[in-house]
Chain A
Amino acid sequence: MLLIPCPFCGKRDEHEFTYAREAHIARPTNGEQMSDAEWAQYLFMRKNPKGVHYERWMHAKGCRRYFNVARDTVTHEIYAVYEMGQPAPAIERENGR
């Protein structure tokens, strides 16, 4: 069970949070000009990486704030948490992980 460092409340068990999926997917403001295929990229296509995933969590049973987490999808190691609107930090992983 993950121990997630909420940037507003501190470390809490995963069951206090709601997972809110991939982060940094900006909603297109020009949807009307986009092709169906381009719109599908925004709507459905996901990175789903094996390794560092930049994702959103909401502290549902706490402050109810959304924030970003950089987490390894294999080891579940959490590299960084950062507030909404901040850019994704580059994560350099040690070799052999």
Chain B
Amino acid sequence: MKQHYSIFTLARNAVSYHENWTEAWRSPDPKPAYDVIIVGGGGHGLATAYYLAKEHGITNVAVIEKGWLGGGNTGRNTTIVRSNYLWDESAHLYEHSLKLWEGLSQDLNYNVMFSQRGLLSTAHTVHDMQALRRRVYAIQLNGIDSEILDREQVAAYCPILDCSPNARYPVFGASLQRRGGVARHDAVAWGYARGADARGIDIIQNCEVTGFKIENGKVVGVETTRGSIGARKVGVVVAGHCGVLAGMAGFRLPIESHPLQAMVSEPIKPVLNCVVMSGQVHVYVSQSDKGELVFGAGIDTYNSYSQYGSPPVVENMLNALTELFPIFGRLRFLRQWAGIVDTCPDASPIIGKTPIENLFFNCGWGTGGFKATPGSGHVFAHTIATGEPHKFAAPFALERFTTGYLIDEHGAAGVAH
């Protein structure tokens, strides 16, 4: 039984100098075989394992991770959570996720610090405003919270945002999703890992998949750096490497991998109390609980698996930041990094079956995967457990690239994040 986390256990452990805390998760050696193997120990993979156990009672599961848990995009993103998507398919999926976020800390008994501080998405041209209205009206009719603010309301909501009509791209208005916000990214991976482990799932770090065992078009296990492991079903959730894994299984994906950069400033006292995103000036920013401004923008243009990124992107991002927030000009940026995002032609993910039987992929989340973590894990667990896609996952099948039924969120997303 896991130790419960609460102020009381914290206080009790304080008395014993915190020497009696136990491991958040075990580090077992891999068993010869599992019912389900999840490849990828990021937020999505761990969430998938957690919901396999919690919702479907499947606990003979291993999550195998080539490095350390949450070491991919889970630990590299700007932690924005929202569900204000244009198309119904996306709105349903991301809202499903947002609802799970809303009870996640309690469900996991791990504080993921989901802060619903409000997410402002600014419009800077007449055309921007039209697109914004289209999106907000659609979101509202999907039963999701979203509202339109005019320039004055934006200025009142976020006073440090430059709403001057003389700006190069003046703020015309914004959409606001009050339920949107940010969360503590690492905690999501750790919380799911702890929850999955408590339900008997093996979490195996430093174990890299080197190939799939496929017999008669059916996956029967994986080859890893820690030996061969059998499995009835395999779910692959490896942002930044799904193309490589698909290659091992002998098929291609409509995916290209690019670095997405992010940065933080030095920590300062609270100055920004919401998330602000601008597609036109091209930056998104929030302030972490620690006080750092956390910001990012678009992907590096060329295919890359380097988690470093190119300096022109940094320059543009910082430029955009000071354009929207002139008072940030004298602050200093502290750290820059990049994650590798797998982008689909329609900026929507791929969830579901593959040409190989019992091999499932969940990938292509592009720049927006973090917010989807609980929902993605939830629908993917259903898909793996039942063999059929969850209703919210069904539209995101790989098949859509053949039929042409794309879910093109490019225009609607406004800005990558």
Contact = CB atoms under 8 A, between A and B. Distances in A.
Interface of A: 1-2, 14-15, 18-19, 21-22, 36-37, 39-41, 43-50, 53, 55, 71, 73-76
B343 to A, nearest CB: 10
22 contacts: A1-B312, A2-B302, A14-B312, A15-B312, A21-B256, A21-B303, A22-B303, A36-B403, A44-B345, A45-B401, A46-B243, A46-B253, A46-B254, A46-B256, A48-B255, A48-B303, A49-B243, A50-B305, A53-B303, A71-B302, A73-B306, A74-B305
Contacts of A45: 252-254, 401
> What 4 A-B pairs have minimum CB-CB distances, sorted nearest first?
A44-B254, A48-B243, A45-B252, A19-B302
B92 interface: no
A73 B257 contact: yes
A49 B257 CA distance: 9
Given A21-B256, A46-B254, A50-B241, A73 B345 contact: no
A3 to B, nearest CB: 12
A5 to B, nearest CB: 15
Given A1-B311, A19-B301, A50 B244 contact: yes
B244 A43 contact: no
B402 interface: yes
Contacts of A36: 402-404
The majority secondary structure among interface residues of chain B is loop
Q: How large is the interface on B (under 10, 10 to 19, 20 to 34, 35 or more residues)?
A: 20 to 34
B205 interface: no
A72 to B, nearest CB: 9
A39 B345 CA distance: 15
Contacts of A47: 243, 252
A50 B357 CA distance: 25
Nearest to A15: B312
A69 to B, nearest CB: 9
Contacts of B252: 41, 45-47
Given A40-B402, A46-B243, A73 B303 contact: yes
The majority secondary structure among interface residues of chain A is mixed
Contacts of B257: 48, 50, 73
A47 B246 CA distance: 10
B163 to A, nearest CB: 31
Contacts of B254: 40, 44-46
Interface string B279-308: 000000000000000000000011111100
B302 A37 contact: no
Given A14-B312, A36-B404, A46-B253, 6 more contacts: A36-B402, A44-B401, A48-B255, A50-B241, A73-B306, A74-B306
Interface in B176-225: none
